[in-house]
A and B are shown apart, each in its own frame.
Chain A
Amino acid sequence: MKISRMRKSIATLGAAALVVTLGITTAPTAAATPTCTTAAGVETCKGSLANGAGYEFRMPANFKGVMFFWEHGFRSTYPGVTAVPKGVEEITPTSDLTGQNVTKEMMLAGYGVAAYDGTVKGLRGWNNTFRVEMLKEVIDIAMAKYPRIQKKVVYGSSQAGSIITPFVEKYPTYADSVGIMAGTTPSIANSLQSACDIFYILSVFADPTIKGCSAFGVKGVPGHMASVGELQKVVALLTAWSKNLGAPGLEFPAALKGSGIPQRSALLLTGLLTGVPTKSSHMDGISTNAVIAEHSINATVAVLQNIGAAVATGVLAGQSISESTGPNFYDNTQTNWAALLDEGDAGRYNLGLSGDEAIAGMLGVLSAAPRVTGDAAAVAKFKALDKSTFTSKHPTILLTLEADRLVFAGNTARYVDKKREVYEAELAKWEASKKGPKPIWNTLSLTTMTPETYTKFTAAGLPDLTGPGAPSGVGHQTFTKKQTKAWVDMLAVAARSGKVPTTKYVEYLSTKVPYLSGDSDYRPADLKYNFG
């Protein structure tokens, strides 16, 4: 299980954080001319942006005019979990699961590709404002160097959703099509509020010493170490549950001690109230055996695995974000816990939640538990993060995992909803006046699904969490090569045509690309919050 790897990472993180010196900043310098080499029909050029960040272009001899600009996802503020990159980490979309990218395929298709290091020096973390300008600089350099570029595709993953969306609104001529893979909406506040809820709920039911997001926000190494301390508490809980599957009765709060409600019911409730997927890399939410006697227990282990795999990145991202909002950005004084439990989930997972009486009991104690009151200014900053107008007219293609453990699939639904609001308002205006070109709907959401069942059990009957997981639909930024290439190809054609593909084409493509859904009306579960 990934938790063991995570613990090692945490140890490394702690040690590394102590040796971080005061923020290193480099005075901006003029971008240097890139150094280029050619091999096997591909010209590779490397250079530095004005702030010292590295960038890279790869231009195939058979270039057909479409250049792709890649925006990678989150890298933690303080080195330690991963090494500080020396140069460009990802030149094209790369699976977090297999490490495979589609560079070779893109070169063969005649696409040019570009990427830059958005994690340079002091700019790591939730550094979107910087990266919007860095991306512009990368494109400016590429356009100057390669006048043959006819069309530009701006695409990226995860945090990149919070960079690309405002980018194309600010610089609309810098993109001809837009791709967002497993991306944020762009507002991160909705997702982060749920992440903070996870800490809070666990503090009520499992470990009252957890402060969660209330411990975030102090700048520098002290703040970083405080967040790592919270991470360690959660990892300890998850480690225990991974061994006993949450079977022991609740010890907290006092009102529920001795109630007979198993800890796993509180864990499942935590997942359902916060939107954690009930499918994970190894748990399909369906398969049962003598130990996992009911599907909702399978789903509970999925919640455990998903939180375990996402918590480190979530904590580090949360701390990074909180450094810009200030401490105490989390406030749950207005949270209606009962309203966060979907009626369908309460029915579907009734046994895992230990029935209606246990559900009522757990929601009751949550409702009565002391709330977290945030700092008004920090809360306001938090809710205002990464706002966007959704007015971009670029053909935009979203690619989402059915059960993304980190950037929940509901981000995509929220993005589409926001875009649709703008589109329908414009359409209504046009219908009234019939002036100018008729607005077109130019957003397409693609989802990669999991197989129907894939859970395997060990000889002892326990879930096997170590073998190969689901081949699709789970993890984060874990698309298969075929799925990624299909997305890239659609972005290229959309850049030329100015339109997203038809639903009929997607339906056709779904027969060729394993686990790519052809259901154009698919909608994942909504995010739990909408701060506008």
Chain B
Amino acid sequence: MRNRASLSKPSRGLVASVAAVLAGAMAFTAVPAQGASTPGVSDTEIVLGMQLPQTGPASPGYNKVDDAMRAYFDYVNSKGGVHGRSIKLVVKDDAYRAGLTVSTASALINKDKVFAMVGSVGTQTHISVIKDINRRGIPDLFVNSGYSGFYTNPKKYPTTFGGLGTYTVEAKILGKYIKETFSKNTVGIVYQTDDFGRNTVEGLATAGVTFTPKKTAATFIAGTQAGGLDAQMQQLKDNNVDVVVVGAVASAFAAAVSSANKIGYKPAKWIVISVGADATTFQTILGARGIAPAVSAALLAGTISASHAPAPGEENDEFVKAFKKINDEFNKGPDKRWDNNVLQGMNIGYLMTSALLGTGKNLTRPGIISYVKNNAAKLSSAALSPLGYGAKTHEAYTGFWIGQYDATTTLKPVDSPRKVWTTDSAKGPVTELKYTRPAIAADALPKVG
């Protein structure tokens, strides 16, 4: 029944609501419009936001990146912060569900009032918020996704900058290696039919490595791999594929290896795009299926992959040494075991600190976007490749070295001395990179300008 107006029994709530109206009326005129101050920046603090799967099936491995980033920021804060401001990292768990990515982005922007987003993880998730983040002019820095579509058209996403090399660049470089090394083999691929897989296939094709649909190219829909990839592996086996490229996330690589084992399919070589070959993730997923670490390590051994940074097992690398020490002292996360995810988290923290330092004391959103875009050469990091940021692209690392996992799950270079290869996300050639990484300072803080 609909209410009928009556003044005979005014409730306490209604009286309160009248009072609220009056208060509201005052507030209309008494409260000035929002000032021009930069959100998330005060005299003493810079608030940064990050989204990633901390829980759920997609979380293994990735859920260590945020703790590593925070550890590096805590280290910076212990040294006085950046231009006198401490860095606060607010992290939201989206469980790799895009709906939660949307709502948690809103919370970071409107409730936590972050200055910038940094290091967010995931392609399918980030694609759900990238347009809105850019529309609002919020810096979207060092995204942990290799999808080239986020970076290669800066007019479309002017505030977004990558934190990984693109899948296309990596696939082109791996493609060159495949052409040169496995010309006598039958090379096939299993890939997820989305942005990630599409980038991979495009990159390989540019390098001259192509596949026949339904024969040497097996596909699956991202998100269905938990049910196994038996049919895909059977298809590749039936077509005598003996070198399998994997253009998919680590859970899919683990599923492919499991399924291949199950049907007695033993390809001579697995070649996996780096995010799919993360050892921690691979072993965690197989561990959840009851496969012992020693067995999963043996399954990974011999796999070819690539990296833009030193391998976490390179004990003598100066960045590895410094980051490892900071991780030991400052990482308060539940799993601080040193691995590729921790190294990447530390590296993004280092990169972000560089960007904040370089932008200067007068920190604004347009200011940091402009600085990152125009000063890629000054933004050093642990990577063995320079950053590609500029007016034409916001891609991060344009170089990768190729390695092979050993029995201890360490990626070791296939060349000696290690060669780093570079290319672009378009049709440019793959060439050897001559790059000398700037040294890390004794205090492990970036020095800019």
* Interface residues, chain A, with chain B CB atoms under 8 Å away: 39-42, 58, 60-62, 94, 99-101, 103-110, 279, 284-286, 288, 294-295, 298-299, 343-344, 347-351, 354-358, 452-453, 485-486, 489-490, 492-494, 496-497, 499, 501-505, 508-509, 512, 517-523
Contact = CB atoms under 8 A, between A and B. Distances in A.
**Interface core residue of A356, A503, A512 (most chain B CB under 10 Å):** A356
Nearest to B109: A519
Given A343-B127, A354-B221, A518-B110, A60 B31 contact: no
B232 to A, nearest CB: 13
Interface string B1-39: 111111110100011011011001101110111100000
Interface residues of B, number: 55
A503 B33 contact: yes
Given A42-B6, A108-B17, A357 B219 contact: yes
Contact of A493 (B24, B34, B99, B197): B24
B264 interface: no
Contacts of A486: 24
A82 to B, nearest CB: 15
A299 B15 CA distance: 42
B28 A347 contact: no
A492 B97 contact: no
Interface stretch (B129-137, B334-342, B354-362): B129-137
B103 interface: yes
Contacts of A344: 127-128, 130-131
A42 B18 CA distance: 17
Contacts, number: 158
Contacts of B197: 356
Contact of B195 (A58, A103, A347, A492): A347
Given A354-B221, A355-B219, A104 B195 contact: no
Contacts of A99: 1-2
A110 B7 CA distance: 10
Interface string B34-66: 100000000000000000000000000000000
B25 A493 contact: yes
Nearest to B137: A521
A396 to B, nearest CB: 15
A39 B6 CA distance: 8
A194 B346 CA distance: 48
Contact of B127 (A101, A347, A523): A347
Top 4 nearest A-B pairs (CB, nearest first) are A355-B193, A286-B99, A41-B7, A347-B127
B5 A501 contact: no
Interface string B235-258: 000000000000000000000000
B4 A104 contact: yes
A61 B285 CA distance: 71
Contact of A504 (B2, B34, B125, B193): B34
Interface string B288-307: 00000000000000000000
B8 A40 contact: yes
Contact of B136 (A58, A294, A521): A521
Contacts of A288: 97
Contact of B3 (A104, A357, A502): A104
A492 B128 contact: no
Given A348-B128, A351-B224, A501 B10 contact: no
B208 interface: no
A295 B337 CA distance: 32
Interface of B: 1-8, 10, 14-15, 17-18, 20-21, 24-25, 27-29, 31-34, 97-100, 103, 106, 109-110, 123-125, 127-128, 130-132, 135-136, 149, 192-195, 197-198, 219-224
Contacts of B128: 344, 347-348
**Interface core residue of B5, B25, B31, B109 (most chain A CB under 10 Å):** B5
A355 B124 contact: no
B221 A351 contact: yes
A169 B33 CA distance: 28
B110 A107 contact: no
B166 to A, nearest CB: 15
A513 B131 CA distance: 28
A106 B21 CA distance: 11
A502 B33 contact: yes
A101 B25 CA distance: 22
B20 A512 contact: yes
Given A101-B3, A523-B135, A348 B124 contact: yes
Contacts of A493: 21, 24-25, 28
B5 A106 contact: yes
Given A108-B7, A452-B100, A505-B24, A347 B17 contact: no
Contacts of B222: 350-351, 355
A396 B175 CA distance: 58
Given A101-B3, A347-B127, A357 B10 contact: no
B31 A502 contact: yes
B17 A485 contact: yes
A8 B124 CA distance: 41
Contacts of A104: 3-6, 14
Nearest to B31: A504
A357 B197 CA distance: 11
B8 A357 contact: no
A469 B51 CA distance: 28
A452 B21 contact: no
Contacts of B15: 108
Nearest to B27: A505
Contacts of B135: 523
